[in-house]
Structure 1
Amino acid sequence: MPIPATAPARNTKSDTDPDALSVLNHVFGLPGFRGAQEEIVRHVTGGGNCLVLMPTGGGKSLCYQLPSLLRKGCGIVVSPLIALMRDQVAGLLEAGVKAAVLNSTLSYEEASAVEARLLAGDLDLLYVAPERLLTPRCLNLLGRADVALFAIDEAHCVSQWGHDFRPEYIGLSVIAERFPDVPRIALTAPADDLTRKEIVDRLGLNNAPSFVASFDRPNIRYEIVDKQNAQSQLKAFIAERHAGDAGIVYCLSRAKVEDTAAALNKSGVEALPYHAGLDAGTRARNQDRFINEDGIVIVATVAFGMGIDKPDVRFVAHLDLPKSIEAYYQETGRAGRDGKPSSAWMAYGLSDIVQQRRMIDESTGAEAFKRVSIGKLDALVSLAETANCRRSRLLGYFGETPAAAKCGNCDNCLSPPLVRDGKVAAQKLLSCAYRTGQRFGAMHLIDILVGRLTERVTQFRHDKLSVFGIGADLNEKQWRGVIRQLVAMGHLAPDSEAFGALKLTETARGVLKGETEVMLREQVAGARIRSVRTKSRRGDIAPQIAGSGGAANPGLVGALRAWRSGVARTRGVPAYVVLHDATIDGIATSRPTTLAGLRNIPGIGDKKLEHYGDELIALVKAAG
């Protein structure tokens, strides 16, 4: 790796602080470590194994990239997605690191050339797909190479209890068996105890320390709204809060992805679909446009997103309920990787719970797996229904105690919902469900409660029941909220044998007898959440640029972005690989007029200074 003469050479000392900090600065242009990064780098460089859990955007990559540069040999990174490998390697090459990939996109000749470089000691980092690593050819190759470490990225894929299980990851246990003396570092975003235990067991990390960073992403504003017309709500959300921003919209089905993308385009939002039903070429083109262009919205199934390094995704929206809090956290975490204010928005309704429960009930999984899946779904529904701080509930799920009871940057903190005694409403609803034989869905029950003489109501003579019209004090929207919350509390449940029907559970008895307290949340009418571009009660949640002396020059920001786009097109890499937005903001704020001043901007390492320094200084001077 072409580290400048002023930077120290690689070494294998256990006390690596001075070298690690110097390489961090010279290669990556960063002035210091964040959180536990330094401790992790020291541990792995010294030959130790470990499990690292950090939020998306928390700096996991540096935890294996730096030890790979500091240890003798090449760091082998197991990565599940081609897009992730490609973008990380592009960024490393820009920083002057000798990096390469070994995956199915390479021809035989190209793969042979990479293998030759590995054996010759001409690589610092090699990214390998798990399927490729497990082949006899690749294992024999690694046995003959000088390997610095193994990094297993997205390690939650090894767990059947995780939200993104991949069978090929199970085979990675061979790493510990074949290479017991090479340090292993497994990395993932937050995971529950079951998932963590399986990662440790399968990857042979039983005696290794776990480094668990805070899972809080204070720059992300969490908001969950009652689903009415999801597409219209989404269009209003984007128009009011994120016009012109890059974003990801998640839908459960391919058809809904297509419909939503078409609706957004019709409303003037440039949106592209992404799902497994599209041909590979279309998927690749749409993903490349999202990564390389500004302001593109991708509408996707959950097949999209893992490993996407795009730092300036300003919002992630869900039109359907994810399967678990882990999935929700992982997906929403793709917003605001650069630390700037961003949104996690979800439209949620009773149909989401019914659909997810039916999918679990109809799955071919073992009963134990179904029980765990239902427990995970219930936890997510509780997050959606809570009247308290969503961030506190989210962090608590992962075992983290938040610094404050209220974050000041979620919908419940910014516009607190009313909480009222809902015992009488709950009794009316449960009685209605019981007296109709527990064979009908939400809409029919609401028709009876509000006294609506529909064809079905009269057909079944439900207008003759004592519960007919007893709920006229609430409107349809309010009753939908009552039903949804009673399902969330476990007093009502979807009937797996009668599609759409709601039946009473054992706990409903206590509600009907008046022995169980029922508190219901009700959103304040007309409540509006401010744009994430404004300041929250916690102050400006965007990261501060080191050395900034004032506001960024808007004209210079525009000029730098235009220059970056041109360089990215010429080099065939994403714009953020050339310079991150935070680096552009730092330049536009400090306005350095010398190379030495530019070198002090975070994100400007020696290679970027060498490649782009003169052009950047010229842009600063031209902007005055």
Structure 2
Amino acid sequence: MTSATGLGADRAIEVLNRVWGYPAFRGAQGDIISHVVAGGDALVLMPTGGGKSLCYQIPALVRDGVGVVVSPLIALMQDQVDALRTLGVRAGFLNSTQEPHERRAVEQAVLAGELDLLYVAPEGLGAGAVPRLLDQARIALFAIDEAHCVSQWGHDFRPDYLGLSMLHERWPDVPRIALTATATDATRREIATRLDLTDARHFTASFDRPNIRYRIVAKNEPRRQLLDLLRAEHPGDAGIVYCLSRASVEKTAEFLSANGVVALPYHAGLDARTRAANQARFLREDGLVMVATIAFGMGIDKPDVRFVAHLDLPKSVEGYYQETGRAGRDGLPSTAWLAYGLQDVVQQRKMIETSDGDQAHRRNLSQHLDAMLALCETVECRRGRLLAYFGQESPAQCGNCDTCLEPPEAWDGTVAAQKLLSTVLRLQRERGQKFGAGQSIDILLGRETDKVRQFRHHELSTWGIGTELREAEWRGVVRQLLAQGLLSVEGEYGTLVLTDRSGEVLRKELTVMMRREPERQRARAPRARGGGAAPQADLPAEAVPVFERLRSWRAGVAKESGVPAYVVFHDATLRQIAARRPGSLSELGTISGVGENKLAKFGEGVLAALADPE
């Protein structure tokens, strides 16, 4: 490390201590910050909650000039700027939501060298006033946040990101740092190529989020299953519930509200004012549940989200990881829960078949779905499977996912697969017919339904030969055959059809291993390691009322200031204060998360709350 870099590192740690109140960098943060402070370009892959923002915020404060942060999150820029200003950082933003006089004030601050950080939308850099403004300013760095948005194969593709390679062309001497919370090797290469960062130094942190418990359950009245989970493990907790359709979002929010859970909907069909109001309530209120499509969540910096639930199958492992990563940003135990069933697989396969784009695009979508299905159907550690997808190793068992805590049984489903595939084959060859899963299952169970009688399916040789399995188990067989590519669906109604590999099973050339779910899956009381632990669970008993008193004080300050409660102090900081009960400002200043500006702004209030038993 050069002397300049060493000096920069010293200044960086001083800024971390003084502004954020943290004693030391975590993981690769120190190396990344030193590299950027010294003028190097960087591509950073770091999980949500890993502290990515510090990797550009601190260099922006250490280097001369303004740090320009490119972010697609216009709706959240005000909150991001408010949080920085609470820390004493001079921050501002430029986007399409501002009035002319507000823009002028920010522009003047940039030109006067009075801003440390400036947030802009990618479309604002294409042409016009923002590039001309930056030509006249001293720029410390460019930070490209949510860099995976440049990936055209990705789940959050934003066309405006494709033009960001111009940053290096127009300002060749300004260091750039691109950051994302999730990327495979292929996506990382695409980011580097499209942003002209092929010569940048790559930093890849571990994708493991050990505080998150991953659980995937078979669907059986999923809204009721979700309610049971929230009542048993997350009463009064903040969380996000993802649904595939707008209608499902609305119905789920209504269902939860009717059952005593404060829940709000969020989807693109709502007017902008309602979306903004619901998002603001979620950020500012404790214990609120947001039910949303995947349009919600990117950039949400709410640290106390205790659970993320999916009521429909995500389209990719990247999307699933990105969405579940919004739980437990504060490092406390949290839950990632997914309800998954046969209809999910049928629906996703149909969506791919009818999607826009060429055959290569549909093949890419299928590969993403196959990886997600493999995660759902694995009998191995889910965390291990998830980390392997991103090219990282993990212990054979993590001890904090459902397959580790309640190992499922793997069973030889070859005979069951042959019976099911044979039924589909006979329907097509002998009758020239195609049906969905329900009809094949009725045939195997020997049910005399109206449709069976109408089409004389009781005459088929497979009629009634599957009574050793229950209907739910047969649906699991169909689901797993679809997941393994041994069966497929086609058409508007999702009829079952054989694949090129089906013959291997029918000819007894392939053994088909399947996952059998534990006999009864139910929500359970939280354990020491994993979802559902209340924020004060690891506090001494005598500190719990102090913690609650501090939370009440914080809520009042946040409301008065018009900012989310976590902008004042995170729960983790309040827990330390409650446990240590500092008696002076100097003692309070030694607690992690209490920086210089927050100590001056909130210190006396904290001490008063600690002294007041009421």
* TM bracket, shorter-chain basis: over 0.9
Alpha-carbon shift at residue 499 of structure 1 (Å): 2.3
Bigger shift: 509-518 or 110-119?
509-518
> Is residue 166 of structure 2 the alignment partner of residue 189 of structure 1?
no
Query: Can you list the C-alpha shifts for 1:357-388, whole angstroms capped at 9, x where unaligned?
Result: 21122111122121111101100011001111
Alpha-carbon shift at residue 447 of structure 1 (Å): 0.3
> Is residue 486 of structure 2 the alignment partner of residue 491 of structure 1?
yes
Of 393, 402, 407, the match for 1:411: 402
Q: Please list every run of 5 or more consecutive structure 2 residues that lacks an aligned counterpart in the other structure.
A: none
1:339 touches 1:542 (CA, 8 Å); kept in 2?
Answer: no
> Is residue 331 of structure 2 the alignment partner of residue 364 of structure 1?
no
Count of paired positions = 608
- Corresponding residue for residue 501 of structure 1: 495
Alpha-carbon shift at residue 177 of structure 1 (Å): 1.1
> Is residue 612 of structure 2 the alignment partner of residue 622 of structure 1?
yes
1:415 touches 1:528 (CA, 8 Å); kept in 2?
Answer: no
Query: Can you list the C-alpha shifts for 1:567-605, whole angstroms capped at 9, x where unaligned?
Result: 111111111000101011110111111112111111100
> Is residue 571 of structure 2 the alignment partner of residue 571 of structure 1?
no
> Is residue 34 of structure 2 the alignment partner of residue 42 of structure 1?
yes
Q: CA 1:549 to 1:167, structure 2 compared with 1: closer, same or farther past 3 Å?
A: closer
- Corresponding residue for residue 509 of structure 2: 515
Structure 1 counterpart SS, 2:50: coil
Alpha-carbon shift at residue 283 of structure 1 (Å): 0.7
Q: TM-score, normalised by structure 2?
A: 0.96
Structure 1 counterpart SS, 2:223: helix
- Corresponding residue for residue 142 of structure 2: 150
2:303 touches 2:328 (CA, 8 Å); kept in 1?
Answer: yes
Of 20, 25, 39, the match for 1:33: 25
RMSD: 1.9
Alpha-carbon shift at residue 342 of structure 1 (Å): 0.6
1:269 touches 1:297 (CA, 8 Å); kept in 2?
Answer: yes
1:12 touches 1:71 (CA, 8 Å); kept in 2?
Answer: no
Give the distance between the partners of 1:527 and 1:199, measured in 2 at CA.
41
Query: Can you list the C-alpha shifts for 1:143-189, whole angstroms capped at 9, x where unaligned?
Result: 11000000000000011011110111111111111111100000001
> Is residue 574 of structure 2 the alignment partner of residue 580 of structure 1?
no
Task: Supply the AA of the counterpart residue of 1:453.
Answer: E
Q: CA 1:498 to 1:94, structure 2 compared with 1: closer, same or farther past 3 Å?
A: closer
- Corresponding residue for residue 582 of structure 2: 592
- Corresponding residue for residue 423 of structure 1: 414
Q: Between the two proteins, what is the percent identity of the paired residues?
A: 58
1:428 touches 1:467 (CA, 8 Å); kept in 2?
Answer: yes
Give the distance between the partners of 1:542 and 1:208, measured in 2 at CA.
42
Bigger shift: 132-141 or 555-564?
132-141
Of 525, 528, 531, the match for 1:535: 528
Q: TM-score, normalised by structure 1?
A: 0.95
Give the distance between the partners of 2:66 and 2:329, measured in 1 at CA.
27
Structure 2 counterpart SS, 1:160: coil
- Corresponding residue for residue 73 of structure 1: 65
> Is residue 111 of structure 2 the alignment partner of residue 119 of structure 1?
yes
Give the distance between the partners of 1:453 and 1:193, measured in 2 at CA.
53
Give the distance between the partners of 2:71 and 2:295, measured in 1 at CA.
15
1:100 touches 1:114 (CA, 8 Å); kept in 2?
Answer: yes
Task: Supply the AA of the counterpart residue of 1:616.
Answer: V
Structure 2 counterpart SS, 1:458: helix
1:14 touches 1:45 (CA, 8 Å); kept in 2?
Answer: no
2:414 touches 2:511 (CA, 8 Å); kept in 1?
Answer: yes
Task: Supply the AA of the counterpart residue of 1:344.
Answer: A
Bigger shift: 244-253 or 522-531?
522-531
Structure 1 counterpart SS, 2:586: helix
- Corresponding residue for residue 469 of structure 2: 474
Of 224, 234, 256, the match for 1:242: 234
Alpha-carbon shift at residue 68 of structure 1 (Å): 0.2
Structure 2 counterpart SS, 1:34: coil
- Corresponding residue for residue 299 of structure 1: 291
Task: Supply the AA of the counterpart residue of 2:458.
Answer: D
Alignment of 1:315-464 (within 5 A): 315-402=307-394, 404-437=395-428, 439-464=434-459
- Corresponding residue for residue 4 of structure 1: none
Query: Can you list the C-alpha shifts for 1:100-127, whole angstroms capped at 9, x where unaligned?
Result: 1111221111101100100110000001
Give the distance between the partners of 1:542 and 1:190, measured in 2 at CA.
28
Give the distance between the partners of 1:298 and 1:540, measured in 2 at CA.
17
Query: Can you list the C-alpha shifts for 1:64-115, whole angstroms capped at 9, x where unaligned?
Result: 0000000000000001112332222111101111001111221111101100
Alignment of 1:236-275 (within 5 A): 236-275=228-267
2:70 touches 2:119 (CA, 8 Å); kept in 1?
Answer: yes
Query: Can you list the C-alpha shifts for 1:186-215, whole angstroms capped at 9, x where unaligned?
Result: 000121122211110111101111100000
Alpha-carbon shift at residue 301 of structure 1 (Å): 0.6
2:373 touches 2:483 (CA, 8 Å); kept in 1?
Answer: yes
Give the distance between the partners of 2:511 and 2:78, measured in 1 at CA.
54
Give the distance between the partners of 1:187 and 1:392, measured in 2 at CA.
24
1:220 touches 1:335 (CA, 8 Å); kept in 2?
Answer: yes
